[in-house]
């Protein structure tokens, strides 16, 4: 695209320019060497046997590139993770782009190459897509949507209904790196050298965890928007059980903690993009930590709490280091808009 | 949502307000009576046997509501149609929303109810979704993304590689109603009483067509962005065959023709959202028309052309009523921005 280094409305029109953008920018970035035909209107796949997982997420993060990631990597990893949390092996992704007229084609290329690298590293191809362009000023930069299909692993029996009193709560690593990296970058704070988004695909961790524990894994979720607080309040409400966590057991990233304090944010409510919460049977917690900690992205996995008895209404409480108890609440809205 | 009739940033934050929007607006509109649990992070489905089709589209149409449809119905029908054109029975849809802060909640509700009705009428549930909110001014109203999975019908063997010289080209009805209805509405032209979007789900037509013709159906596409021109130029380029169509055989919607003339648009390049182009074996064309015409949305189906011999480069030509020949070209860009 030598004479069009900015996106034009016509790139979204379904005509010659759309074809050129697809051929010269999108396909080279996303299509693996063995799939030159990728990104057709509808892809046809061999259906995996058994149950199918299906998910979608839209991404509106600002800025589009941030320490540790960008909107493309985030979209690919986020959808892979939603499939993994359903106990599924991710099979294929779709990628829908809405671009603002005037967007720098080089920025688009970087973001798509990053998405393509993340997909290739995860072994999950992008097989179908769509591109629209809206007029200048109608959108800040770009919106990315990914959807994904996966094959539910035979050993996965996950759900709120499987949670029992005495189950343990495992967290795969420290909180808040994604949200605070994006926010520090946006505000020009000086944390960016040490604080990077934790954005990562977690399907390999989940496969190992299910392999090691089988049905002793009761429930999985990645604490993205709303953070650990939202995940645990949902868990309590949907399972009907109290939940108790121990603040001292939660792994801490020192720079993230400092950034949260400076910004007046509660680490429990900040978004993560490369962490998971697992509820596992009481006797299986140490095996869960061991299975997770073999992966570098979960090297600091820890047991952080316990599922209590049935309660109405169920509460999430955190034991503080000084022996107090604090009720953990669902955040009201969004402390950090456009974080993912 | 009594005291929040406008979308707020916090509705996209993954906290209490997000849960309220989901519970009070999104789920009632989209979830069928038998699926109270719809729209989880990832849905789990029984995998259909055989091959799986997977597709996505983003929708940016302005205005959000137009004669004959709205962005919700359009998104549902468009993704159903992309699956149908791959020869698949649509199984499930995802729906990703990006909303602008300040959006009227009643408008959102109308659009989602329309999407829910279209999904229910088509028998294809929305099973998973996502909602993000961006700040006022960052987006005009809303963007909708749908993805879909489908089960490829056993009798479907479709593809550019199956197209042969002598195959006939069938069009399911007149051109341009969607694009011209939206554009007339946007410009305040007086056609809106007679000109409505043709937005419709076409999977039942495709099922009947495949049932009637089997492998005599070679290729299917819905001529959306870029219109019939883009579909036929793609067909010629990818199959390596010339294509000839007869202008007099193309069914005409008189008001659409008048609107196109007033707006200086070529009906061949205007988007449709409820039409299909089928390439079928020579001897099967009349059966194809008969199978399609049983459906009210395709009552004017007609054989409009023929696939010619192999050629380099292959051309699309249209015979005009006066005996001339016109080369049909791929539109350069977008004559009608934000039409779908």
Q: pLDDT tens across B181-211, in order?
A: 999 988 888 776 789 999 999 999 999 999 9
Which of B133, B145, B269 has its CB closest to that of A56? B145
The Cα of A95 is separated from the nearest Cα of chain B by a number of Å equal to 7
In whole numbers, what is the pLDDT of chain A averaged over residues? 93
Q: Please state the rounded mean pLDDT for residues A207-222.
A: 98
Triad B62, B67, B69: Cα angle to 5°: 75
State percent of chain A over pLDDT 90.
80
Location of structure tokens 């919106």: A143
Q: How many residues does chain B have?
A: 340
Q: Is B71 on the interface with A (CB under 8 A)?
A: no
Interface test with A, best of B85, B102, B334, B336 (most A CBs within 10 A): B334
Nearest-angstrom CA–CA distance, B94 and B96: 7
Residues 6+ apart with CB under 8 A from A292: A170, A172, A205, A208, A209, A278, A298, A301
Does residue A147 carry a pLDDT above 60?
A: yes
Nearest-angstrom CA–CA distance, B169 and B67: 29
Please name the helix (run of DSSP H) or strand (run of DSSP E) that holds residue A91, with its range, or none.
Answer: strand A88-100
The Cα of B155 is separated from the nearest Cα of chain A by a number of Å equal to 14
User: Cβ of B110: how many Cβ atoms within 10 Å?
Assistant: 16
Phi, psi of A56 (to 5 degrees): -150, 155
Phi, psi of B88 (to 5 degrees): -110, 150
Minimal CA–CA distance to B67: which of B146, B160, B163, B178?
Answer: B178
Nearest-angstrom CA–CA distance, A310 and A295: 34
pLDDT band at B297 (very low <50, low <70, confident <90, very high): very high
Minimal CA–CA distance to A137: which of A102, A180, A170, A107?
Answer: A102
The Cα of A165 is separated from the nearest Cα of chain B by a number of Å equal to 24
pLDDT for residue B334: 64
- Please state the pTM of the whole predicted model: 0.94
Question: Per-residue pLDDT tens for B156-167?
Answer: 999 999 999 999
Token pair, residue B64, equals 């959000």
Minimal CA–CA distance to A264: which of A199, A189, A168, A200?
Answer: A189
Beta strands in B138-250 (DSSP E): 142-152, 168-171, 217-221, 241-246
Triad B9, B14, B15: Cα angle to 5°: 90
Cβ pair B124, B45 in contact under 8 A: no
Q: Please state the rounded mean pLDDT for residues A18-45.
A: 77
B178: chain A residues, CB-CB within 8 Å: none
In whole numbers, what is the pLDDT of chain B averaged over residues? 92
Nearest-angstrom CA–CA distance, B16 and B1: 12
Among A94-98, A211-215, B22-26, where is mean pLDDT lowest? B22-26
A336 alpha-carbon distance from chain centroid:
16
Cα dist from B43 to A53, A61, B1, B284, whole Å: 5, 24, 26, 40
Quick one: closest CA in B to A45, which residue? B52
Radius of gyration of chain B (CA): 21
Residues 6+ apart with CB under 8 A from B276: B81, B84, B85, B171, B172, B202, B205, B206, B220, B221, B222, B223, B298
Beta carbons of B15 and A230 less than 8 Å apart: yes
Residues 146-185 of B with CB under 8 A from A: 147, 149-152
pLDDT for residue B2: 46
Token pair, residue B274, equals 């409820």
Q: Please state the rounded mean pLDDT for residues B12-22.
A: 88
> What are the residues facing A318 on neighbouring strands?
A245, A326
Residues 6+ apart with CB under 8 A from B310: B165, B240, B241
pLDDT for residue B4: 53
Location of structure tokens 């309040």: A233
């Amino acid at each position: 695209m030598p004479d069009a280094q900015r996106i034009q409305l016509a790139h979204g029109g379904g005509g010659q320019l759309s074809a050129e953008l697809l051929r010269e920018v999108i396909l080279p970035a996303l299509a693996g060497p063995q799939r030159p035909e990728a990104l057709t209107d509808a892809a046809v796949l061999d259906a995996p046997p058994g149950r199918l997982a299906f998910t979608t997420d839209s991404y509106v993060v600002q800025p589009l590139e941030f320490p540790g990631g960008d909107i493309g990597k985030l979209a690919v990893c986020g959808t892979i993770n939603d499939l993994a949390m359903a106990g599924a092996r991710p099979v294929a992704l779709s990628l829908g782009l809405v671009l603002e007229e005037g967007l720098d084609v080089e920025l688009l290329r970087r973001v798509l190459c990053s998405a393509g690298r993340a997909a290739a590293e995860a072994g999950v191809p992008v097989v179908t897509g769509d591109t629209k362009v809206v007029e200048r000023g109608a959108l800040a930069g770009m919106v990315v949507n990914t959807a994904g299909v996966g094959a539910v692993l035979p050993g996965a029996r996950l759900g709120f209904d499987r949670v029992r009193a005495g189950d343990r709560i495992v967290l795969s690593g420290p909180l808040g790196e994604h949200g605070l990296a994006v926010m520090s970058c946006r505000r020009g704070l000086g944390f960016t050298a040490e604080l990077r988004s934790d954005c990562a695909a977690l399907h390999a961790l989940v496969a190992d965890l299910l392999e090691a524990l089988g049905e002793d894994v009761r429930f999985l979720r990645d604490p993205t928007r709303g953070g650990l607080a939202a995940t645990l309040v949902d868990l309590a409400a949907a399972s009907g059980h109290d939940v108790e966590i121990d603040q001292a057991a939660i792994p801490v990233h020192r720079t993230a903690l400092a950034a949260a304090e400076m910004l007046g944010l509660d680490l429990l409510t900040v978004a993560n993009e490369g962490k998971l919460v697992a509820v596992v049977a009481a006797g299986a917690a140490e095996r869960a930590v061991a299975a997770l900690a073999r992966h570098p992205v979960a090297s600091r996995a820890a047991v952080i709490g316990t599922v209590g008895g049935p309660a109405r209404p169920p509460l999430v409480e955190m034991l503080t280091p000084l022996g107090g108890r604090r009720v953990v609440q669902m955040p009201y809205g969004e402390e950090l808009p456009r974080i993912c």
